[in-house]
Amino acid sequence: MSCDSTVRLTERRNPRSIAIDERSTRDILDVFHAEDRAAVEAVAKVRDSVEAVIDAVVAALSRGGRLFYVGAGTSGRLGVLDASECPPTFGSPPGQVVGIIAGGDAALRRSVEAAEDDPTHGARAIRERDVGCDDFVVGIAASGRTPYVLGAVEEAHKQGARTALLSVTPPSDDVGAFVDVFITPIVGPEIIAGSTRLKAGTATKLILNQMTTAVMIRLGKVHDNLMVDVQATNAKLRDRARWIVMEVAGVEADAADTALARADGRAKVACLMLMRGLSAEEAHRLLDPVGRSLRAALRD
């Protein structure tokens, strides 16, 4: 089958899914499994670029800056999702990781496709949030050409922020003037031509998972492999905080509950109180000079 080279990679037909409408359910699933593996492999190949962004974001957040995701459609929703999960998972301030989607919050539930076509709207979103030299902005665009996203990234660059572009298609050469790091996992054509919520979305979600999780680990939000900065705001998370304190401090549930109550539900503080015989205030004072890292505080 020939393929028109002028058609964007995200819009081309996948030869492995031709006549998929005539296949059995099992065969359809087999196609999905094979294509999803291709997405994972593509993500592994861009590890160096992801690493560069993670290190730059750690530096930005360490000096009080913020991480912004900017996208439209599926890409925007994935960015907003990743940003919204950082506070409950890692106890990060709500404004530290910010998701921006073309069309605003309404676009999270209902497609606002035309919103992605105007670069000036993306630029305005950046200015409205006072993005500056301490911040890092990641544009997310499967095609690498979404005007809203490119407008936002270019404006962020003008304001002195460092920038990255995450796409599954090589972007045009002219965007190199305002993008510091390109993350380009080439996943190939989708099972359903143009439906970038599939492999493109999978690759994007994998990379966003890696980025924020690695950043938060580097910032001391994880001890061993436990989310010691979890915000215990519901029954499930309170149970998780209790279990984390029991695991780290080696105590029973009652002792964990008592320490958590004195620590205002903060598992990291409760662990340090129990392991060093401290009050909550003393634990906070020990954590502050070491960047709130429990491991560093225990070494000291």
Domain match, 173 and 239 both: no
**Cβ within 8 Å of residue 293, ≥6 positions away:** 220, 287
Domain match, 214 and 239 both: no
Domain match, 157 and 252 both: no
Which of 218, 246, 266 is at the close of a domain? 218
Q: 135 and 60 in contact (C-beta within 8 Å)?
A: yes
The band of 7, judged by pLDDT with boundaries at 50, 70 and 90, is low
The active-site residue out of 35, 51, 113, 116 is 116
> Is 157 a member of any domain?
yes
User: pLDDT averaged over the chain?
Assistant: 93
Q: What is the CATH number of the domain that holds 58?
A: 3.40.50.10490
111-151 residue pLDDT tens:
776 778 899 999 999 999 999 999 999 999 999 999 999 99
- Please name which of 295, 243, 297, 300 lies closest in space to residue 267, comparing C-alpha atoms: 243
- Please name which of 223, 230, 226 lies closest in space to residue 85, comparing C-alpha atoms: 230
> Is 16 a member of any domain?
no
How buried is residue 12: exposed, middle or buried, by Cβ count under 10 Å (0-12/13-18/19+)? middle
Which of 188, 218, 248 is at the close of a domain? 218
Residue 290 predicted with pLDDT over 50: yes
Which of 192, 218, 244 is at the close of a domain? 218
Q: Is 128 a catalytic residue?
A: no
∠ Cα 50 168 123 (to 5°): 80
241-280 residue pLDDT tens:
999 999 999 999 999 999 999 999 999 999 999 999 999 9
What number is the average pLDDT over the span 148-174? 96
Domain match, 213 and 246 both: no
Q: Number of folded domains in the chain? A: 2
**Cα dist from 134 to 65, 66, 181, whole Å:** 5, 7, 16
Q: Is 281 a catalytic residue?
A: no
- Rounded to the nearest 5°, which phi and psi values hold at 245? -65, -40
24-79 residue pLDDT tens:
999 999 999 999 999 999 999 999 999 999 999 999 999 999 999 999 999 999 99
> Is 2 a member of any domain?
no
- pTM of this structure: 0.90
The active-site residue out of 11, 85, 247, 282 is 85
225-234 residue pLDDT tens:
999 999 888 9
Domain match, 73 and 140 both: yes
Q: 242 and 270 in contact (C-beta within 8 Å)?
A: no
Domain match, 149 and 84 both: yes
> Is 174 a member of any domain?
yes
Residue 3 predicted with pLDDT over 50: no
Domain residue limits at 93:
43-218
67-103 residue pLDDT tens:
999 999 999 999 999 999 999 999 999 899 999 999 9
Domain match, 255 and 117 both: no
Domain match, 287 and 181 both: no
Residue 105 predicted with pLDDT over 90: no
Residue 2 predicted with pLDDT over 50: no
User: Rounded to whole angstroms, how far apart are CA atoms 278 and 98?
Assistant: 35
User: Rounded to whole angstroms, how far apart are CA atoms 197 and 209?
Assistant: 16
> Is 115 a member of any domain?
yes
Q: What is the CATH number of the domain that holds 246?
A: 1.10.8.1080
Domain match, 140 and 258 both: no
Domain match, 142 and 239 both: no
Domain match, 113 and 262 both: no
Q: 72 and 42 in contact (C-beta within 8 Å)?
A: no
The band of 291, judged by pLDDT with boundaries at 50, 70 and 90, is confident
Domain match, 209 and 272 both: no
**Cα dist from 66 to 59, 130, 143, 295, whole Å:** 10, 11, 25, 24
**Cβ within 8 Å of residue 206, ≥6 positions away:** 39, 40, 43
Q: 262 and 245 in contact (C-beta within 8 Å)?
A: no
Question: What's residue 6's pLDDT?
Answer: 47
> Is 122 a member of any domain?
yes
Q: 141 and 183 in contact (C-beta within 8 Å)?
A: no
